[in-house]
Amino acid sequence: MDAPVDILGLSPDALTAACGQWGQKPFRARQLLRWVHQRGESDFSQMTDLAKEFRTLLADRARIQAPAALRDHTSADGTRKWLLDVGDGNAIETVFIPETSRGTLCVSTQAGCAVHCRFCSTGHQGFSRNLSAHEIIGQLWLALRALERDGIRGRVPVATDDADDDGDGSGQNPQSRLISNVVFMGMGEPLQNYEATLEALRLMLDDNAYGLSRRRVTVSTSGVVPMIDRLRDDCPVALAVSLHAPNDDLRDHLVPLNRKYPLAQLLASCLRYLERAPRDFVTFEYVMLDGVNDSDAHAEQLLECVRRVPCKFNLIPFNPFPSSGLRKSPAERVRRFAQLLSDGGRVTTIRRTRGDDIDAACGQLAGEVQDRTRVAERTRRRVISVVGVQ
Ligand code: SAH
Ligand code: SF4
């Protein structure tokens, strides 16, 4: 007999097709979506408005399985981090960041990453495998369940009006107020795991599932140009691009993917993306590395480099790790760099640090999660990046 289908990761269309194969009408798929994603039900026998025979069939042919949490820590500021088991000794991380006016979940898309950025511990770890759509959406599913159960420390819940500020219907689902924003800034390069990322995005946006606003879901990429174009056509959401350097020589070194898709191509794809994007700017992320990319001249070159692209900058304090051989820029240098970019007419934010006491950081922790005991033992301070992706 075929293995059960994991319906947690099926997009609305795929679930409708599966229901068709099971002899069910399309509205059954909508009912199922609501049970699974809005009510968080994983037991088919509890789905009382489905016919009994269909429930029995589902129990036989389908399953709902989010990754299991190996660890679950909440910091004093309310930031919560889950270490999730994805099998074969691989673990990924999901981080929830509560703020006064929003709750942001940072999700992973791969175990490891093949891009090998110099400053990223995930990149140093290498690539293990792509996550499936159910492992990606499972992070949101699991986080919502946990937050509903335990409440949120460290913030005032998002008000309905605020959650629905886009006027596009988001915020109607009470769950989406616990998590109003999702950023693909955990472990991995989402656009190198395109199909699974796309399925997960479709669920995040669907009103019968999570009902999030396109403007509040941000895909962050190191610059996989053809896939930026595909995302524009398939499912445009907010876009963040990890730039980190104002010229090709330096970017080739820091983000090796630049050798394949150099800056001119990347920036052109950003312009094409903006034709269909839900926001009228791209967020450029720029990790501040002492003596590497943080001089006044770099700031001037950066302004020149992006001059045709409507954008905002988000400067990220580097989170050092021993094998990187890199240092973080002094705070004063980061402020000066931000000032130069602002003076050049670009809105610029510096990411705040969060979750210091639980060793949480978006997109930079996972390189160390393979040794799980070390994760538990480590006490040194780490930072989590949150501000600037809205
Ligand atoms: N692969 C995607 C998304 C995950 S990384 C990307 O690169 O955009 C998310 C963000 O964390 C990226 O902007 C990345 O450059 C940044 N990052 C990675 N390692 C970091 C570190 N050690 N310190 C600070 N930011 C880091
Ligand atoms: Fe991969 Fe992003 Fe890390 Fe680069 S910064 S190695 S693309 S996860």
Percent of the chain with pLDDT over 70: 84
pLDDT tens, position by position, 196-238? 999 999 999 999 999 999 999 999 999 999 999 999 999 999 9
Question: CB-based contacts of 254: which residues, under 8 Å, 6+ apart?
Answer: 117, 118, 119, 244, 245, 289, 292, 293
Q: How far apart are CA 109 and CA 241, in angstroms?
A: 16
Q: Which residue has the higher pLDDT, 134 or 161?
A: 134
Stated pTM of the model: 0.90
Residue 119 Cβ inside 6 Å of ligand 1? The answer reads: yes
In terms of Cβ atoms closer than 10 Å to its own Cβ (0-12, 13-18, 19+), residue 352 is middle
Topology adopted by domain 68-380: TIM Barrel (3.20.20)
Q: Which amino acid is at 102?
A: R
CA 384/CA 103 separation, integer angstroms: 14
Rg (CA), the chain: 21
189 lines ligand 1 (CB under 6 A): yes
Nearest ligand for residue 218 CA: 1
User: Using 50, 70 and 90 to split pLDDT, how confident is the model at 356?
Assistant: low
Domains 5-63 and 68-380 in one fold: no
Active site residues: 93, 362
Mean per-residue pLDDT of the chain:
87
Ligand 2 center–CA 127 separation, angstroms: 10
Pick the CATH number of 5-63 from 2.40.50.140, 3.30.70.520, 1.10.150.530, 3.40.50.720: 1.10.150.530
Helix 194-205 to helix 133-150 angle (10° resolution) is 40
Find the length of the chain: 390
Q: Which atom of ligand 1 is nearest to the CA of 317?
A: 24
> Per-residue pLDDT averaged across 147-153, rounded?
86
Domain ranges for the chain, please list them: 5-63, 68-380
> From CA 386, how far away is CA 356, in angstroms rounded?
12
Spell out the residues 6+ positions from residue 380 whose beta carbon is closer than 8 angstroms to its own.
Answer: 359
Q: Mutation test of ligand 1: which of 227, 266, 287, 382 has the most ligand atoms closer than 8 Å to its C-beta?
A: 287
Task: Give the nearest ligand 1 atom to 184 CA.
Answer: 3
User: Which ligand is closest to the CA of 314, given by its number?
Assistant: 1
Residue 33 contacts residue 206 (beta carbons within 8 Å)? yes
- Looking at residues 326-353, what average pLDDT do you find? 96
